[in-house]
Amino acid sequence: MKLSDLRPRFRFTFFQRQFLSHLLLSMLILVLLAAGFTYYMKQQTFNNETEELTSVSKGIVRLFAKEGEDPTSALQAYRNLLAERRTSFILLDQAGEIAYRDPKMPGALRTKAFLDELRSHMSNTKENESFIVERGAEEPWVVVYRQTKLKPQKNELHLFIFSPLHGIQETMDTLNQALIYMIVVIFVLAVAVSWLFSRSMSASILSLRRTTRQIAAGDYAARSTVRRSDELGELAGDFNSMAQQLELALHKLQQFETRRRHFIMDVTHELRTPLTSIRGIIEGLKNDLVHSPEERANYYGIIEKETFRLIRLINGLLDMEKIESGLITLNKKRTPLKELFEIVHESLEVLIEEKRLHILIECEPDLQVYADYDRLMQILINLVKNSIQFTAYGTIRLTGSETETHTVIVIADTGRGMSQEELALIWERFYKADPSRSKSNSETGLGLSIVKQLVEAHAGTIEADSTPGIGTSFTIALPKTDQAASKDDEAG
């Protein structure tokens, strides 16, 4: 027999547990209130009777003290009043014998058991203290004990004055009946209220369960419809936030997977083109299909060119991977911006002269930029080379300025420009606005993508603006200081 077979087959649902717990709590409160109320009424009745008997005992003690040995005549009128109220008294001497007894004392109290009960309280009960005697009588009697002295001998006597609890049983029966009606009404209300509260909570949990199952089945757009102001409502809100984050993560994962496929396809295409060209040339040389030295030299030049193209492609991919993985270290320092512009001009002077272009530098000599020297040179050279390639004639303008917080670099040309559709794609990997230039210039289509990654690594921004037939401009804004360090200083 398995352990699971020993477990009870019946299982309480959350609704049943909540309903029963609320109902049991309500019944427990009702029982405690009923018991407490009953006890209070009994105690109140006893206290009222005790106060009345205490007042009567004081009157009897005064009569005994005034009349002396025979107070019968003085008690006659008073005794009639006590009889109407079913109140009696008895005096016991020090030995416990009857010294005086109310002639109108009920016969049910003229028993040895009743006297024994009174004698037992002579030494244990304080003066003016009350107690209840139940034995020796048909109904309970409230007894008040008091000591007095009888003139002229001044003998010490023990006065017990007693009266039945008038109608206490009828009162308690009426009270119990009223309590029963009240318990029934409250029980019905408790059932209704417990059902409503339990049903509301159960419905909220069932809603969360349904939403959880939908998300587990792959529907990440599912949301809980629970709207409450308690902890369960906060749980539903947190659950919806979690579902939203999962949906965003899934969307990003799908985008990443799409980009990964495109990346692999692009890399494969970019690698296949030069490798196919190199392979064809090598096979021609191997099979002696190329005879003249001039042709051999030309083909060797093509192999060298395609090899450099592969090296640039691989280096570009490695640079992008390092940037995206945060593996590059930026050694930022302040450098005169005009000096950088002049170095770029000198580095690309051959290409500029080939196309008969002009470069204009507009920058104050004392304007400095805070950046990594090598990476900023890489950014500027890539952007200027891009302008050279798309400008057939005219001018390339390098401008430097500053704001309160940033150094602004603008590289503008008078080239062919780009449409808005092209402008939206220039930052993508392997994108070429003019695919025909990839073979003639050995371009990989990674330059602008690397530029954007490097600018963002400097916590800067880059924007492109272009008009077909007029030209293109790139605007770079680099912070004058490390923003992370500035925030730490402000926090400190």
Q: Is the CB of residue 462 less than 8 Å from the CB of residue 449? A: no
Q: Is the pLDDT of residue 73 over 70?
A: no
Residue 158's domain comprises: 36-172
Q: Is the pLDDT of residue 70 over 70?
A: no
Q: Is the CB of residue 141 less than 8 Å from the CB of residue 154? A: no
**In-domain check, residue 479:** yes
- Angle CA 440–324–405, to nearest 5: 100
Q: Which of 46-55, 149-158, 310-319, 323-332 has the lowest mean pLDDT?
A: 149-158
**In-domain check, residue 117:** yes
**In-domain check, residue 18:** no
Query: Which residue did the predictor score with more confidence, 24 or 407?
Result: 407
Query: Which residue did the predictor score with more confidence, 446 or 257?
Result: 257
User: d(Cα 442, Cα 327) in Å, to the nearest integer?
Assistant: 27
3-state DSSP of 74-88:
HHHHHHHHHHHCCCE
What is the gyration radius of the CA atoms in the chain, in angstroms?
54
Q: Is the pLDDT of residue 28 over 70?
A: yes
Q: Of 260, 295, 328, which residue constitutes the final position of a domain?
A: 328
**In-domain check, residue 224:** yes
Query: pTM of the predicted model, to two decimals?
Result: 0.44
User: d(Cα 100, Cα 92) in Å, to the nearest integer?
Assistant: 7
User: 319 in helix, strand or coil?
Assistant: helix
**Average pLDDT of the residues in 352-362:** 88
CA distances from 334 to 234, 337, 373, 380, 481 (A): 51, 9, 9, 16, 10
333 and 477 in a single domain? The answer is yes
Q: Of 294, 328, 362, which residue constitutes the final position of a domain?
A: 328
Query: Which residue did the predictor score with more confidence, 112 or 356?
Result: 356
Q: Is the CB of residue 308 less than 8 Å from the CB of residue 442? A: yes
Q: Is the pLDDT of residue 256 over 80?
A: no
Range among 80-89, 297-306, 318-327, 399-408 rated most confident: 399-408
Query: Which residue did the predictor score with more confidence, 400 or 214?
Result: 400
**How confident is the model at residue 480, as a pLDDT?**
87
pLDDT band at 489 (very low <50, low <70, confident <90, very high): very low
118 and 227 in a single domain? The answer is no
User: d(Cα 41, Cα 170) in Å, to the nearest integer?
Assistant: 13
CATH number of the domain where residue 115 is located: 3.30.450.20
Backbone phi and psi for residue 37, each to the nearest 5 degrees, phi listed first: -65, -40
Q: Which residues of 307-327 are buried (b: 16+ CB within 10 A; e: fewer)?
A: eebbeebeebbebbeebeeee
283 and 335 in a single domain? The answer is no
Backbone phi and psi for residue 246, each to the nearest 5 degrees, phi listed first: -65, -40
**How confident is the model at residue 484, as a pLDDT?**
46
Query: Sheet harboring 358-362: ordered strands across?
Result: 358-362, 395-402, 406-413, 471-479, 461-467
Query: Which residue did the predictor score with more confidence, 379 or 199?
Result: 379
375 and 433 in a single domain? The answer is yes
The count of structural domains within the chain is: 3
120 and 144 in a single domain? The answer is yes
pLDDT digits (tens, 9 = 90+) for 311-351: 777 776 776 666 666 667 788 899 999 999 998 888 888 88
306 and 388 in a single domain? The answer is no
**In-domain check, residue 295:** yes
415 and 429 in a single domain? The answer is yes
Q: Of 140, 156, 172, which residue constitutes the final position of a domain?
A: 172
CATH number of the domain where residue 425 is located: 3.30.565.10
